[in-house]
């Protein structure tokens, strides 16, 4: 029996929402993406695309374009932030790609967004509406009624499915699904881009580098074909509003006892943006009747497994696939929820654990460093194997 063509609304035009639109449209659905902003900006920083996410993007026929725009680090280097000592090298490159049948890529978030947006604009079954916000929804036997606000006007629309991809501060999550808001994690991510010519250590432009220190860590990798070094410094702050009015001198105060190379690197930019990190409790549901949640709206996680965007991309494919396999929408969304819940919960747990490990101090940090030095990079990489081996089934 052929599955019916559905009318689907997607709330949010970020990476999760646009990927969902493309996946759903590939299965012959009619899609409207409603984005609250009047235009897309270029804010944000780098993003890491692991093999599990790349497989979906390749299925969308975007693999070649994304790969041409991205950088491919040789390795992931783990460093002792205090001494500058190398703790471990996790190999990427040819052997990694051969194992997972996909590369490990890094690129600017806006570059990936531009590629997804272009593909959406070119698809005849996808309509993107800017300055349009879905503020509430209610499921019923005929589908789902969405309340849409545009230019201070409100209208109701009845469609088959609503996908909440409206990010970490999702109002649909709270209002339509009666789920709790994301909570501040006690951590701040400071982000900047440094021109390549200001980077003295050539290893930084060829690898992903993670420096682990007490109460903080710093990750860097090249973007824009090695034109820039993307840096993310994660520190601990009691209150999210403590980032207001902060300058590079405030950031530098967290790294006074770190190795000189990181202090020099931080001083190379005075254009740092502070982003409070929010997270959710482990989710118990991802759908309700005719409404599904994906990405940060569903399971916002800390960035310590570099899987936030990748899990949103996985969500998008699995949701589209389940809707294509099941004519009954409510049943399809239940299957989606059952397929995704165990995995996203485990990824969230992994991210939390990594955060604790990265920020260890004293004897615990000493033990961590010793284990990293005595364990081969390939063996360390195997701990991520269950994440990277995921592939879309279609």
Condensed to tens digits (0 to 9), the pLDDT of residues 260-293 reads 888 888 888 888 888 899 999 999 999 999 999 9
pLDDT for residue 282: 94
**Three-class secondary structure of residue 104 per DSSP:** coil
What is the pTM (predicted TM-score) of this model? 0.95
Separation between Cα atoms, residue 106 and residue 115, nearest integer Å:
14
pLDDT for residue 247: 58
**Three-class secondary structure of residue 195 per DSSP:** strand
pLDDT over 70 at 8, yes or no: yes
pLDDT for residue 248: 64
Query: HSE of 374 in the Cβ direction (CA atoms, 13 Å)?
Result: 6
3-state class percentages of the chain: helix first, strand second, coil last, to nearest 5? 40, 30, 30
Positions of E strands within the chain? 7-11, 30-35, 46-49, 75-80, 86-91, 105-108, 126-130, 132-140, 143-150, 153-159, 161-164, 183-195, 208-213, 216-223, 228-236, 273-279, 287-288, 291-293
Condensed to tens digits (0 to 9), the pLDDT of residues 289-328 reads 999 999 999 999 999 999 999 999 999 999 999 999 999 9
What mean pLDDT comes out for the span 154-179? 93
pLDDT for residue 2: 59
pLDDT over 80 at 43, yes or no: no
What mean pLDDT comes out for the span 344-351? 97
Q: Report the percentage of the chain scoring pLDDT > 70.
A: 96
**Do the beta carbons of residue 153 and residue 280 sit within 8 Å?**
no
Q: Does domain 7-71+105-182+280-354 have CATH number 3.40.190.10?
A: no
pLDDT for residue 323: 97
Q: Which residue has the tokens 């804010």?
A: 43
Neighbouring residues of 366: CB distance < 8 A, sequence distance ≥ 6: none
Any bridge partners for residue 191, and if so which?
A: 232, 273
Condensed to tens digits (0 to 9), the pLDDT of residues 62-96 reads 999 999 999 999 999 999 999 999 999 999 989 99
pLDDT for residue 264: 87
pLDDT for residue 306: 94
pLDDT for residue 168: 94
Mean residue pLDDT across the chain? 93
What mean pLDDT comes out for the span 246-263? 77
User: Comparing C-alpha atoms, which of 168, 67, 72, 46 is closest to residue 115?
Assistant: 67
Condensed to tens digits (0 to 9), the pLDDT of residues 101-139 reads 999 999 999 999 999 999 999 999 999 999 999 999 999
What mean pLDDT comes out for the span 232-253? 73
pLDDT for residue 151: 87
Neighbouring residues of 322: CB distance < 8 A, sequence distance ≥ 6: 332, 333, 335, 336, 339
Q: Report the percentage of the chain scoring pLDDT > 90.
A: 82
- DSSP letters, 272-323, are -EEEEEEE-PPPS-SEETTEEE-THHHH---GGGS-HHHHHHHHHHHHHHHH
pLDDT over 80 at 249, yes or no: no
pLDDT for residue 263: 85
pLDDT for residue 274: 86
**Three-class secondary structure of residue 324 per DSSP:** helix
């Amino acid at each position: 029996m052929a599955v019916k063509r559905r009318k689907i609304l997607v709330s949010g035009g970020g990476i999760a929402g646009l990927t969902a639109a493309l996946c759903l449209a590939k299965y012959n659905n009619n899609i409207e993406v409603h984005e609250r902003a009047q235009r897309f900006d270029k804010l944000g920083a780098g993003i890491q695309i692991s093999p599990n996410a790349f497989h979906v993007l390749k299925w969308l026929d975007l693999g070649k374009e994304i790969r041409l725009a991205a950088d491919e680090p040789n390795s992931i280097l783990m460093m002792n932030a205090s001494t500058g000592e190398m703790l471990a090298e996790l190999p990427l490159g040819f052997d990694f790609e051969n194992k997972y049948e996909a590369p490990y890529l890094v690129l600017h978030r806006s570059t990936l967004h531009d590629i997804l947006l272009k593909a959406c604009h070119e698809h005849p079954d996808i309509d993107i509406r800017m300055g349009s916000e879905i503020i509430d929804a209610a499921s019923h036997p005929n589908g789902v009624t969405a309340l849409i606000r545009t230019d201070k006007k409100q209208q109701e629309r009845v469609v088959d499915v609503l996908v909440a991809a409206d990010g970490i501060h999702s109002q649909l999550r709270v209002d339509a699904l009666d789920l709790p808001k994301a909570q501040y994690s006690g951590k701040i991510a400071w982000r900047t881009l440094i021109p390549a010519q200001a980077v003295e250590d050539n290893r930084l432009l060829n690898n992903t580098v993670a420096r682990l220190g007490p109460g903080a860590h710093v990750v860097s990798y090249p973007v824009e074909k090695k034109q820039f070094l993307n840096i993310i410094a994660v520190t601990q702050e009691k209150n999210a509003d403590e980032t207001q009015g902060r300058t590079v001198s405030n950031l530098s105060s967290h790294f006074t006892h770190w190795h000189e190379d990181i202090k020099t690197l931080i001083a190379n930019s005075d254009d740092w943006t502070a982003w409070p990190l929010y997270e959710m409790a482990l989710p118990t549901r991802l759908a309700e009747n005719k409404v599904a949640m994906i990405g940060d709206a569903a399971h916002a996680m800390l960035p310590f497994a570099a899987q936030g965007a990748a899990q949103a991309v996985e969500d998008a494919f699995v949701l589209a696939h389940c809707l294509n396999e099941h004519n009954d929408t409510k049943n399809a969304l239940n299957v989606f929820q059952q397929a995704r819940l165990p995995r996203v919960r485990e990824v969230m747990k992994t991210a939390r654990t990594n955060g604790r490990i990265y920020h260890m101090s004293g004897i615990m940090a000493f033990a961590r460093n010793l284990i990293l030095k005595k364990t081969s990079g390939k063996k360390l990489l195997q701990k991520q194997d269950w994440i990277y081996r995921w592939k879309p089934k279609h």
